[in-house]
Amino acid sequence: MSEILIKGGNRLTGKISVQGAKNSVLPVLAATVLCGDRCVIHNCPTLSDVETSVKIIRNLGCGCEKTGNTVTVDSREITSFEIPDDLMREMRSSVVFLGAVIGRMGKAYISSPGGCELGPRPIDLHLSALKHMGVTVTEEHGYLHCTAEQGLHGAEIHLTFPSVGATENIILAAATAKGNTTIHNAAKEPEISDLADFLNSAGARIYGSGSDTIQIYGVEKLHGAEHAIIPDRIAAATYMACAAVTGGKITLENVMPPHMVSILWFFKECGCETEISGKSVTVSAPERLCRVPTVRSLVYPGFPTDAGPIALAVLCLAEGTSVFVENIFENRFRYTDELKRFGAQVKTQGKIAVVEGRPALSAADCACTDLRGGAALVIAALAADGVSTIKEIHHIERGYDDIVGNLRTLGADIQEQ
Ligand code: UD1
């Protein structure tokens, strides 16, 4: 099992280009299945979650090749409507294939997603919306059998919570359903707009993405399309954090600053200087980071839950005491026990973490508990005195394309072994 070794203390400087968004590429790849044609998706990061998506697409009987950062899907032929348990377990977010497969095949069998490292991951909102669109759902031996006997039809849907996954599944199912669908209280994340933009370029008629009311006029058929995935705002936040804790100054290229307002605000509050120029952001760390007023994870445009562990790692080195409130997932603080190995002072109770910033951290042997928690350990290790070892890095590989190479380019003393 490989691990990452980091000798902390190097000041990060220089320039890197930010990968395509993990949370966008997965739904867009799912959407290619719906197109029934040849689709070319650019700016796809090299991640184990993308590999899993490729496997799922092939398992459905479609052609799928990844060359560099481009994935080509040929979904003219599709032979299966099942996502087997092993692939579902590799990636909980494979649930986003549900809407696409039902839309294309009129039915889908998926293994029940169950819980994950972040706590229970219910899909009741997805299923209830699909039922309103003509889908019958039965559960058998851990599998969900979803069938639209009479085909999918449009519906008026109100989400009781603006779930990102549910919004994506509804858009996918509605794109080729009979009639019109309106999603009220829809998720507004930029990744939703990216999915809608791709589908619209493939012939769908989706309006209002990025707002809380999305209208989808069902079309009979989609066609092939070419699309480039938006930049990953969470990966960008991670590299900004690496610069912030090492007293560094880095420039990130290929970012979308308008998607990062709450993240940029956080770094400014910590005392960093941020400079935006078109699609690039430069962040320079202050002499000493400072505490911030309470940060709460919220739906977009609020502070992203995925950036919570990254922010918390930064606050471990800030002067003063800060509070982070996690409002989206129930069990997202497991990584804080690993952060404590670096000498970080973090106390958690329920959804609240209190961080007492320290002037320095010391190297530790630690293990990733989840993707973004793993990123928090990398950030801590870059700042810590001495050589740290980070194990269970398969979590990190789910979401970061060549993090070791990127950090080395910025001057970190880092290696994978
Ligand atoms: C979540 C994040 C998303 C992030 C992604 C990957 C939010 C709102 N969502 O999306 O930004 O990119 O993780 O890490 O920040 N829920 C239900 N029933 C459902 C669906 C969701 O109760 O059917 C609850 C979840 O338990 C959770 C909340 O809604 O508390 C957020 O869920 P959702 O947005 O659906 O999660 P993801 O799509 O995984």
Bigger pLDDT: 235 vs 88: 235
> Residue 323: which of 356, 300, 301 has the closest Cα?
356
Q: Which residue has the tokens 């209208």?
A: 215
Mean pLDDT of 208-233: 98
> What percentage of the chain has pLDDT greater than the value 90?
93
pLDDT at 114: 60
For residue 1, pLDDT over 90 is answered with no
Query: At 416, which helix (H) or strand (E)?
Result: strand 413-416
The answer to whether 52 and 86 have CB atoms below 8 angstroms apart is no
d(CA 324, CA 43): 32
Q: What is the overall mean pLDDT for the chain?
A: 96
Protein residue whose Cα sits closest to atom 26 of ligand 1: 121
The whole-model pTM stands at 0.97
pLDDT at 128: 96
Strand partners, 145: 109, 138
For residue 328, pLDDT over 80 is answered with yes
Q: Which atom of ligand 1 is nearest to the CA of 96?
A: 38
d(CA 33, CA 13): 41
Query: pLDDT digit string (tens) for 166-196?
Result: 999 999 999 999 999 999 999 999 999 999 9
pLDDT at 92: 79
The answer to whether 184 and 115 have CB atoms below 8 angstroms apart is no
For residue 412, pLDDT over 80 is answered with yes
pLDDT at 91: 85
For residue 299, pLDDT over 70 is answered with yes
pLDDT at 175: 98
Q: Which atom of ligand 1 is nearest to the CA of 161?
A: 29
The terminus-to-terminus CA distance of the chain in angstroms comes to 9
d(CA 347, CA 239): 25
Tell me, using a 6 A CB cutoff, whether residue 189 lines ligand 1.
yes
Pull the structure tokens for residue 142.
């851990």
Tell me, using a 6 A CB cutoff, whether residue 123 lines ligand 1.
yes
pLDDT band at 331, cuts 50/70/90? confident
> Residue 61: which of 48, 46, 80 has the closest Cα?
80
For residue 115, pLDDT over 60 is answered with no
Tell me, using a 6 A CB cutoff, whether residue 303 lines ligand 1.
no
For residue 407, pLDDT over 60 is answered with yes
